[in-house]
A and B are shown apart, each in its own frame.
Chain A
């Protein structure tokens, strides 16, 4: 019954999505409000239908309805209820259904939120959001239907089909196979949905941009409409990246959080172009410049979202994520090509008609505009470098016949100087002015942050640091941080003359959330930068086989191996657990239990390495159980890492998320109206 409900609701949602596309375009072209309203209603209806489909799937998972192939493949009776619920996105078909549901949610929210204010754009917003949803529902209904069921013929042969084949009876296995072991981790439970929210969220700004291109309404309306949407999408994409890093650190067992894996990179690419867009769009808002560029960036971001989804699900780029491979590759590639042709075609059409011409030109080489353009250039350069590093194996195999691998040495060498330059700009740009700024004024504003940076460098050298690349890195990151703190301090100080410091800070942030939220985001990026330098440049590792009672030393820590135990968990996993004691000097600071989990009933990736970690703000003492002596249990091999400052990566991530929330938090109507009036006044003054 639930399977039938899911099949019907997804099929009807598919029909409604494509009806909405046709009706909205027809309505916009013919000027018929009736058709536009009909399209809107159809688009809105996709949400309850897909919600019902997701609910049907979740209930089936919780109840263990193993007649449904997807439920059988991703859950098992002994699974925790938490993992039964989250198995919705634990496999290809379910995660596509979830993708579609998230897109219908975002689309419905955008339609309801922006219907009145952006009335001219909305018919085309419906067309582009529903076009994307319609495509994903084609995948869901025809190629990867999560409600496909198992059927058995009298001769024992089992077949999968949506509807009962002639002569076959429902096949109901006693138990399911269970979720992929690597996904049974809180980080992995929340990492995919946050990434999907980020990915899908980027569809909304793209749809508004395309609506502007299609309708010819190329004023700042589409920018205004998408401001919050892009921030929300960027928030989730950032959160997804951070959670993915944490999952890799905890579960993949290699002592790091970012391996430049092609699938990680697939999520990073739209984040990079989205970040460039967040900066450059300010130039269009303030100065009416970069209209062509902003359109290009948002189109590129959308295409990278589709490319990322395509490449991770088609198996074209092999990686640890290859469990998501399926035959959806060709249609996804076709959709990517059609989206690119349509988006770029519309963009070129408006460009060559001169409708994207800038309202102002560059007044000075030294201005916030020129620094933001440089910032965009760097983000795009990093995007190109990461794109090439991720897809070079495909290109070289295709055109030269030799497959190559570009690993961390390539990525670190190419991106490190570009990121360093971005930190320099992060320090200078907030101190520069729109229009023009003098070098003398800029120099004066930079004086205190530069002095603080010099003090930081001296302190590092005095306390024994001799790695000059690391010192340079810390100096650049520190400079960006000091500028940000200095700017916040100056703002608070200026207001603190008539109220308390705390109240001054509260009001300052409250009344200009975008600017000060942006500063908090910068602080988060600075803290992440400190963590990345520390954990990359100064990471130490060693591998040793120890007998019980033996010790090894790494950095200032000594680890003593106590014993090895075996246990079987409720979900059937066999856990081999080593118990080790960690000493800081002579003081026992932690007892760790690094372990390996083996899932005997799972094919493929069936081993999970769970690290034992002693964390302080200064460093992580991170222990992996690599191997052990099966017979005597007398010896075990450990890989031990000392990761300095790695926790700053997570703390920086949290600060970054808080900053985005501050920047994206809706302003009271009166403040927004005053800001828009103020902006309009400033623009008319300049014109």
Chain B
């Protein structure tokens, strides 16, 4: 029986790194390549810790974020690409950990709302302008007190400005 227990323990010990590796978060695997802090920061900048929301991972000072950055480094050392690292975190913690959602529907939604608003705004403003233009009775050019009225001709401009300032004196 004791041999059986030892065998199970041995299998678990040997299998554990493989299990961790299968999850993509292995800490004890041999690095495939050297990773610089700048590379870690470049990936971390695109990630957000779900605890300290709205603070990018590369600048967050909490211990939790330091552990995440270490995990980013480990994954990069294992030869994972930037996208693979980001996908790993999204799979683990959801869409909130990235600055723009990876999920196609959410990604579409995040861009579509402001773009649709701009389009609607342009249509409404365009409609209003066309309507105003049609309603407009032709008037002679404005005599409004604005120097730009007579832009382009220095003498005219000077006369206009002088007249305007005289009015105010």
Which residues of A are interface residues toward B (Cβ below 8 A)? Answer: 252-255, 259, 261-262, 286-287, 289, 317-320, 358, 360-363, 365, 368, 370, 373-374, 377, 380-381, 384-385, 388-389, 392-393, 396, 400, 402-410, 414, 418, 430-437, 441-442, 444-445, 487, 490-491, 493-495, 497, 507-508, 511-512, 541-545, 607, 609, 637, 639, 671, 674-675, 678-679, 682, 685-686
- Residues of chain A contacted by B150 (CB below 8 angstroms): 433
Known pairs A259-B56, A365-B133, A432-B148 / 18 extra A-B pairs, C-beta < 8 Å: A254-B58, A286-B144, A320-B54, A361-B133, A361-B136, A380-B121, A381-B114, A381-B117, A405-B95, A405-B96, A407-B56, A435-B144, A437-B151, A444-B152, A511-B169, A541-B41, A609-B61, A674-B167
Report the separation of the CA atoms of residues A332 and B106 in the bound assembly, to the nearest whole angstrom.
30
The closest CB in chain A to the CB of B114 belongs to A385
A404 touches B145 (CB 8 A): no
- B41 contacts which chain A residues (CB < 8 A)? 541, 543, 639
Instruction: Fill in one digit per residue for B74-108: 1 if any A CB lies within 8 Å of its CB, else 0.
Output: 00000000000000000000111111110100100
Given A410-B110, A512-B168, also A543-B37 (CB < 8 A): yes
| 12 pairs, A vs B, C-beta closer than 8 Å | A361-B133, A373-B125, A377-B122, A402-B106, A403-B96, A406-B110, A409-B100, A434-B146, A437-B149, A491-B161, A675-B168, A686-B144
Q: Report the separation of the CA atoms of residues A497 and B36 in the bound assembly, to the nearest whole angstrom.
A: 65
Q: CB-CB < 8 A to A252: which residues of B?
A: 59
Q: How far is the CB of A678 from chain B (nearest CB, A)?
A: 5
Taken together as a complex, chains A and B put the C-alpha atoms of A490 and B54 apart, in Å, by: 47
Is the Cβ of A373 less than 8 Å from the Cβ of B129? yes
Interchain nearest-CB distance for B46 vs A (Å): 8
Contact of A682 with B117 in the complex, beta carbons under 8 Å: no
Q: Which residues of chain B are within 8 angstroms of A679 by Cβ–Cβ distance?
A: 145
- Asked if B10 is an interface residue, CB under 8 A from chain A, the answer is no
- Contact digits for B133-157, partner A, Cβ 8 Å, 1 yes 0 no: 1011111011111111111101001
Given contact pairs A671-B168, A674-B168, A410 touches B38 in the complex (Cβ within 8 A): no
Assuming A396-B106, A405-B96, is B142 touching A318 (CB within 8 A)? no
**Nearest 8 pairs between A and B by C-beta?**
A435-B142, A407-B99, A254-B59, A445-B151, A543-B37, A361-B136, A434-B144, A494-B158
**B110 and A433 form a contact (CB under 8 A):** no
* List of B residues within 8 angstroms of A542 by Cβ: 37-38
Chain A residue at minimum C-beta to C-beta distance from B116: A384
- The listed residue with most A CB atoms (<10 A of its CB), out of B115, B141, B143, is B141
**Is B96's CB under 8 angstroms from A511's CB?**
no
C-alpha spacing A406/B109, complex, angstroms: 11
Q: Are A384 and B114 in contact (CB under 8 A)?
A: yes
In the complex the two chains form, is A433's CB within 8 Å of B149's CB? yes
Residue from B54, B99, B141 in contact with A261 in the complex, judged by beta carbons closer than 8 Å: B54
Quote the shortest CB–CB distance from A450 to chain B (angstroms): 13
Query: Which residue on B lies nearest to A365, using beta carbons?
Result: B133
Contact across chains for B161 and A404 when beta carbons are under 8 A apart: no
* Cα distance, A227 to B48, chains bound together (Å): 43
B113 within 8 A of A: yes
Q: Is the CB of A674 within 8 A of B169?
A: yes
Is the CB–CB distance between B117 and A384 below 8 Å? yes
CA distance A388 to B113 in the complex (A): 7
Verify A409–B99 contact, CB threshold 8 A.
yes
Q: Is the CB of A392 within 8 A of B110?
A: yes
Binding site for A on B (CB under 8 A): 36-38, 41, 46, 48, 53-56, 58-59, 61, 94-101, 103, 106, 109-111, 113-115, 117-118, 121-122, 125, 129, 132-133, 135-139, 141-152, 154, 157-158, 161-162, 164-165, 167-169
Chain B residue with Cβ nearest A321: B54
Name the B residues within 8 Å of A368 (CB-CB).
146, 148
Question: Shortest Cβ distance from A433 into chain B, in angstroms?
Answer: 4
Q: Contact check: which of A360, A381, A389, A490 meets B157 at CB < 8 Å? A: A490
CB within 8 A of A431: which of B38, B148, B154? B148
What is the CB-to-nearest-CB distance from B14 to chain A, in angstroms, rounded to a whole number? 34
Q: Which B residues lie within 8 Å of A497 (CB)?
A: 158
Alpha-carbon distance A434/B168, docked complex (angstroms): 20
Contact for B132 among A254, A362, A495, CB less than 8 A: A362
Residues of B within 8 A of A432 (CB): 148
Check B113 against A392 for contact (C-beta < 8 Å).
yes
In the docked arrangement, what's the CA distance between A507 and B149, Å? 21
Q: Are B100 and A433 in contact (CB under 8 A)?
A: no
Please state if A408 and B99 are interface contacts (CB–CB under 8 Å): yes
Instruction: Known contacts A406-B100, A433-B144; decide if A388 and B114 are in contact (CB<8 Å).
Output: yes
Check if A435 sits within 8 Å of B139, measured CB to CB: yes
In the complex, what residue of chain B is closest to A435 when comparing beta carbons?
Answer: B142
The one of A365, A445, A495 in contact with B152, judged by C-beta atoms closer than 8 angstroms, is: A445
CB–CB A377/B101 < 8 A: no
Q: Is the CB of B133 within 8 A of A544?
A: no
Quote the shortest CB–CB distance from B75 to chain A (angstroms): 18
- A442 to B169 CA separation, bound complex (whole angstroms): 29
Establish whether residues B149 and A404, one from each chain, have CB atoms under 8 Å apart when the complex forms.
Answer: no
* Residues of chain B with a CB closer than 8 A to A490's CB: 147, 154, 157
Cα of A374 to Cα of B129 in the assembled complex, Å: 10
> Who on chain A is nearest to B59 by CB?
A254
Q: Are B99 and A362 in contact (CB under 8 A)?
A: no
Residues of chain B within 8 A (CB-CB) of A441 are: 151-152
Given A363-B138, A495-B165, A675-B168: A405 and B98 interface contact (C-beta under 8 Å): yes
Residues in B with CB closer than 8 Å to A545 are 37
Which residues of A have CB within 8 Å of B97? Answer: 405
Give every chain B residue within 8 A of A430 (Cβ-Cβ): 148
Nearest chain A CB to B155's CB is how many angstroms away?
A: 9
A259 to B111, CA, bound (A): 19
Query: Known interface pairs A402-B106, A405-B99. Does A431 touch B113 (Cβ–Cβ under 8 Å)?
Result: no
Interchain CB contact under 8 A, B142 and A686: yes
* B152 contacts A637, C-beta separation under 8 Å: no
Give the CA-CA distance A380 to B125 in the complex, in Å. Answer: 12
Contact at A320–B55, with CB atoms within 8 Å?
Answer: yes
Bound together, the chains give a CA A403 to CA B50 distance in angstroms of 10
Complex CA gap A408/B100 in Å reads 9
Report yes or no: B110 in contact with A404, Cβ–Cβ below 8 A.
Answer: yes
Q: A253-B61, A319-B53, A380-B121 are in contact. Are A494 and B162 (CB under 8 A)?
A: yes
Q: By the criterion CB–CB under 8 Å, are B133 and A685 in contact? A: no
Contact of A361 among B99, B101, B135, B141 (CB under 8 A): B135
- On whether the beta carbons of A433 and B148 are closer than 8 Å, the reply is yes
A508 cross-chain contacts in B, Cβ below 8 A? 165
Q: Which residue of A lies closest to B112 (CB)?
A: A388
Contact A405 B48 (CB under 8 A): yes
How many Å lie between the Cα of A445 and that of B153 in the bound state? Answer: 9
| CB-based nearest A residue for B106 | A404
Max chain A C-beta neighbours (<10 A), residue from B94, B157, B161: B161
Residues of A within 8 A of B103 (CB): 402
- Whether A377 lies near B148 (C-beta < 8 A) is no
Cα distance, A671 to B166, chains bound together (Å):
10
Question: What separation, in Å, do the CA atoms of A316 and B57 have in the docked complex?
Answer: 21
Q: CA separation between A262 and B133, bound complex, in Å?
A: 40
Q: Complex formed: what's the CA distance from A541 to B121 in Å?
A: 39
Contacts of B110 in A (CB 8 A): 388, 392, 404, 406, 410
Q: Across the interface, which residues of A come within 8 angstroms of B164, CB to CB?
A: 512, 678
- Chain B residues contacting A388 (CB-CB under 8 Å) are 110, 113-114, 117
- Assess whether B141 is in contact with A436, with CB atoms less than 8 Å apart: yes
